[in-house]
Structures are given as structure tokens and as C-alpha cells.
Amino acid sequence: MTLKLDSISARYGTLLAIDGFDAQAAPGRLTAVIGPNAAGKSTLLRCAAGLQTCRGSVEFGGLSVESMAHRDRARCIAWMAQRPRSDVPMTVHEMVELARPRAEQDPGRCRELMQSLELEDLRSRLVPALSVGQQQRVALARTLYQLKSHDGMLVLDEPTAPMDPRHAMLAIDHIRDAARQGATVLLSLHDIGLAAAVADDAWLLRGGRRVGSGPVAEVLVPGLLREAFGIDYEALQRSDGSSWLAPSPPSHGV
């Protein structure tokens, strides 16, 4: 199902965090939300997930997200916080199970997710006793387990930030897999190179405004990235012929 954001604006008191943002995210595609610190990425994701009051309209599958009943929204939109609460004295397994009501539990799917995200050995450990990266994987497993059908939406706020590279790629594989199966996926990332490599589309923000949106090849280009971040990016060639976006080294008075 398609996510449509139409002229949305969101405020924190007098601070305008999102200013008239329009964009669409298509099902089966992974859309990366990119921008500098305080660009409004997290606020935009919270608006898309129906967690933040905003002006304008947010529709998912033709239905207004804001007017959905909490329970119905939870069945089709799964959101993952940038910093999930980690001091909850529950075991890893209990925490993942929390994603669904008792009547909707699917032990096979739960076990499969825990195994593939390498959490099975930690299932009886208490979440507060885990490392930050492990806690983030638990939160990702819970978010993926929340969606019962493949036509829902995943909204992920920097899901891989505290993970080591191997587990970050494992997480990205799961997220891409969800998109391949038909989910609409929205995720914010700070690693432009990673976003360019794994995402299908990108939304580029600065100061709550849209700098660009569309296929990655059209949005994550040096000109727009300079406009968003104020620094130069260059495409580095890898041995397999593909390219990787990286910030140019600063030129000290040359």
C-alpha cells in the first residue's frame, strides 16, 4: 500500500520541525529518509506512523493514518524508535512477543525472526543486561514481528546506528526482505553510502523542508547532498565497478 504525505507541517511549540512536506512511498520499495541533524527526519517518521499530530494529510492505503483506531494502525504500521526503551525488565523473548496480542501470536515466525537476527541464544536474557547493539536488534525483531501481513508499512528511525557492521548488514537484509515481500519501508539513515547502496528511493530534507525526493540515483547526487549537508560528496569507484558515495576530505586552505 502507498504512503502519501500531503503538505504536512509539524511544530514543537514555536519550532517548525516539518514545513509543508509532500512525498509518496511505494509498496515493495525501500525509501531512505536522509538529512543532517535536526532536519526533521524523526518527526517526519513519527508523522508517517501516526504518532505525531501534524497539519496536512498522511494517508496509508487511502486511509487517513490519524483517524485509524490504535489497534488497526498497529496491525498495518510498525514503528521503531531511534532509541527504544531498554530498561524494561523483560527477557528478549518476552520483549519480541509483546509486538502482538496473545490471540495473534505466531511462535514459528517469532522463533524464525529471533534465529535470523541471532537472538535465539539470548532469548532468556533480560533486555537491560544486553549491549546497546543487541537491544537494537531486539527492537528490530519486535518491529518486524508486529506486521502480520506483507502489505503493511515499516517505519524505522536509524535502526542500524548502534550495531556493528555485520549485524547492521544483517538488519538491512531483513528490512530489504520485508520490502521485497511487498511492505512499504521508510527508514532514516545517516550513512549516505549505505542509503545509496540499499535504498530504492530517498527523501532528502534540510530544516524541515524537502530538498529532493525520488529514486536514489536522482536524489543522492553531489549537488543535492551539498544543498542538504553543506559539504561535497564524491562517488568512489569500487573494484566491482559500482560506486560508493563518500564525503570529500576537507581542503585546508588549498
Partner 1 sequence: MMRRGPLGILLLMVVAALVCFLRLLIDRPPGGSISLAWPHQDWMQFRLTAMLTGIIVGGSLALAGALLQTMLRNPLASPFILGVSSGAGLGIMVMAWLVYISGSPATSLPGQWWPSALAGAMAALVVVYSLGRRSGGGGRGWLDPVALVLVGVVVSTICAGGMMFFQHLVPTGLRGQFTTWLMGSIPEYVSSWRLIFSAALAIVAFLYAMGQTRRLDLCLLSDDEANSLGVALGPLRIGIFLACGVLTSLSVSLAGPIAFVGLVGPHAARLLLGARHGLLLPGAMLCGIILLVGADVLRQVIDLGGGRMPVGVLLTIGGGVVFLILLRVEMRRS
Residue 134 in contact with partner 1, rule: CB under 8 A: no
Q: Is 198 helix (H, G, I), strand (E, B) or coil?
A: helix
Identify the residue among 102, 166, 238, 252 touching partner 1 (CB under 8 A): 102
Q: How many residues bind partner 1 (CB under 8 A)?
A: 35
Q: Which of 62, 89, 108, 253 binds partner 1 (CB under 8 A)?
A: 89
Would you say 155 and 48 are in contact if contact means Cβ atoms under 8 Å apart? Answer: yes
Are 183 and 31 in contact by the 8 Å Cβ rule? The answer is no
Beta strands in the chain (DSSP E): 3-12, 15-25, 30-34, 55-60, 63-64, 77-80, 153-157, 184-188, 201-206, 209-215, 233-237, 243-247
**Which cell numbers hold the place of 93?**
523473548
According to CB under 8 A, which one of 135, 146, 160, 213 is a site residue for partner 1? 146
Which residue from 32, 44, 60, 73 is in contact with partner 1, where contact means CB under 8 A? Answer: 73
Q: Does 17 bind partner 1 (CB under 8 A)?
A: yes
84 forms part of the interface with partner 1 (CB under 8 A): yes
Interface stretch with partner 1, choices 90-98, 167-175, 189-197, 201-209 (CB under 8 A) = 90-98
Instruction: Give whichever of 102 and 238 is closer to partner 1, judged by the CB atom.
Output: 102
Binding of partner 1 by 31 (CB under 8 A):
no
Q: Identify whether the C-beta of residue 55 lies closer than 8 Å to the C-beta of residue 128.
A: no
Pull the grid cell for residue 208: 524541515
Amino acid at position 82, single letter: Q
Among 38, 98, 231, 236, binds partner 1 (CB under 8 A): 98
Closest separation between CB of residue 82 and partner 1, Å?
A: 10
Decide if residue 88 touches partner 1 (CB under 8 A).
yes
Task: Please identify which residue in 4, 75, 125, 190 interacts with partner 1, judged by CB under 8 A.
Answer: 75
Interface residue with partner 1, options 19, 59, 66, 94 (CB under 8 A): 94
Kindly tell me which residue out of 6, 7, 22, 53 binds partner 1, with binding defined by CB under 8 A: 53
Residues that bind partner 1 (CB under 8 A): 10-13, 15, 17, 43, 46, 49-53, 70-71, 73-75, 77-79, 81, 84-85, 87-91, 94, 98-99, 101-102, 146
